[in-house]
Amino acid sequence: MEKKRVVVGMSGGVDSSLTAALLKEQGYDVIGVTMRLADESRDFEENDRGCCSLSAVADARRVCEIIGIPHYVMDFKELFREKVIDDFLANYAKGWTPNPCIACNRYVKFEGLFARAMELGASYVATGHYARIEQDAAGRWLLKKGLDEKKDQAYALYHLNQHSLAHFLMPLGVYTKVETRAMAERLGLPVARKPDSQEICFVPRDDYKAYLKEKNPACLQPGDIVDLSGHVLGHHAGVPLYTVGQRKGLGIAAAHPLYVVRLDTAHRQVVVGSAGDVFASGLIAGDMNWIAIDNLQEPLHVMAKIRYGKKEGAACVSPLAEGRVRVDFAEPQRAVTPGQSVVFYDGDTVVGGGIIEQPLH
């Protein structure tokens, strides 16, 4: 029986490379696709480790040759600019701190690539994410954490829905990163020891402040640094150059450490306070997506994560008007940041998530 066709999004790293190799071993008709995302990539060093670099395309092509599958480079630059770069700049301009990798997963990899894959006659799209997709007894598709706690990426995938989950494969979710590299070495993949990319792929040298100054200088208007009572303590060169919880780089002499508590773009103010002022008892979130449930009808007790790499905390999420939710934490959480995502869990299952709009102190 002929195995179904699967398109693998290949970034040139070990994870996506092994994903393609494993699926080929399992008998799938595999096609490797590297997405060309940002024009800025041509200005990077050729040996840059970002997923948009020239070396990433070369590495992906070499892996495809070794495992014997076709490789294509597809142009997603227009979609990426609209949904990721423009969104990144707009969010910083309004004093939010966005997560462009989540936007890229949502609009480019899990919508754009999926549509192109269907045009190629594929039944599935596969990625190298460390997360698991399962189906429960009632037929509902579930997104679950990867078994490697240090590499789990389910947080960044909370926007997946029942349709997309039915057509995606994530074979690395049951492995650890150590196992992934070992398998890649056994298969003779040249990227087996390639370091992971940690940077924002379209921001040169991971310097988002320089990127804002170049791409959207109008959002950087000087203003005041004030305390919670409104007293002016200093001055700044632009609200978007700061983030909630920041301590260093404020340029203020004070008797005790000061931290950014909130950003007020309307008044061009960076509001600072003590360490305790950075904690929030809850938050309001919008742009919600639910996976484990159809919709939130009543308060639900969950574990909530407010930033990738941060530990989960017990919380109660309650429905509000217009699809928004209120989240009340069992214990106050530090640096609840507008623009970041809050994701809800029931054990290792992702219940859903959304974009943080404001902390509740």
Is 51 part of the annotated catalytic residue set? no
Nearest to 145 by CA among 157, 135, 162, 127: 157
Is 201 part of the annotated catalytic residue set? yes
The pTM of the full predicted model, rounded to 2 decimals, is 0.93
Measured CA to CA, the distance from residue 51 to residue 259 in angstroms comes to: 33
pLDDT in tens, the chain (361 residues): 567 999 999 999 999 999 999 999 999 999 999 999 976 444 444 444 455 566 889 999 999 999 999 999 999 999 999 999 999 999 999 999 999 999 999 999 989 999 999 999 999 999 999 999 999 999 999 999 999 999 999 999 999 999 999 999 999 999 999 999 999 999 999 999 998 877 788 888 889 999 999 999 999 999 999 999 999 999 999 999 999 999 999 989 888 999 999 999 999 999 999 999 999 999 999 999 999 999 999 999 999 999 998 899 999 999 999 999 999 999 999 999 999 999 999 999 999 999 999 999 8
Q: Catalytic pick from 51, 52, 104, 219?
A: 104
DSSP assignment of 171-238 equals GGGGS-HHHHHHHHHHTT-TTTTPPPP-S-TTSGGG-HHHHHHHH-GGG---EEEEETT--EEEEES-
Tracing tokens 């979130």 back to the chain, one arrives at 285
Would you state the structure tokens that stand for residue 56, as one six-digit string?
């990433």
Measured CA to CA, the distance from residue 98 to residue 355 in angstroms comes to: 9
Nearest to 353 by CA among 303, 282, 310: 303
Q: Catalytic pick from 51, 52, 201, 219?
A: 201
Measured CA to CA, the distance from residue 128 to residue 125 in angstroms comes to: 11
CB 274 within 8 A of CB 281: no
Measured CA to CA, the distance from residue 186 to residue 229 in angstroms comes to: 62
